[in-house]
């Protein structure tokens, strides 16, 4: 449940921000570091967060 909340929040922020600080977002969401957020995000969404954001918040 916590993972779903974290990823949902990360998705919302990725869609609403042009210059997102992923390390700060990771800390805000309770991750130990950015790498843990990236790993969970990629496993859940299928692409790394920067690729998701570069695609305008949607996957290919």
Q: Which domains does the chain have, with CATH numbers?
A: 2-54 (1.10.10.60)
Distance CA 34, CA 60 (A): 24
pLDDT at residue number 11: 93
Does the pLDDT of residue 2 top 90, yes or no?
no
Q: Is the pLDDT higher at 1 or at 42? A: 42
| 48-50-54-59 Cα dihedral, nearest 10 degrees | 20
- Model confidence at 59, pLDDT cuts 50, 70, 90, reads low
Helix (H, G, I), strand (E, B) or coil at 44: helix
pTM of the model: 0.83
Tell me the per-residue pLDDT of 12-50, one tens digit each, with 9 for 90 and over: 988 887 788 999 999 999 999 999 999 999 999 999 998
């Amino acid at each position: 449940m916590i993972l779903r909340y974290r990823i949902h929040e990360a998705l919302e922020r990725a869609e609403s921000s042009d210059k997102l600080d992923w390390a700060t977002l990771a800390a805000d969401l309770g991750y130990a570091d950015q790498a843990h957020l990236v790993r969970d995000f990629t496993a859940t969404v299928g692409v790394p967060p920067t690729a998701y954001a570069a695609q305008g918040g949607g996957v290919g």
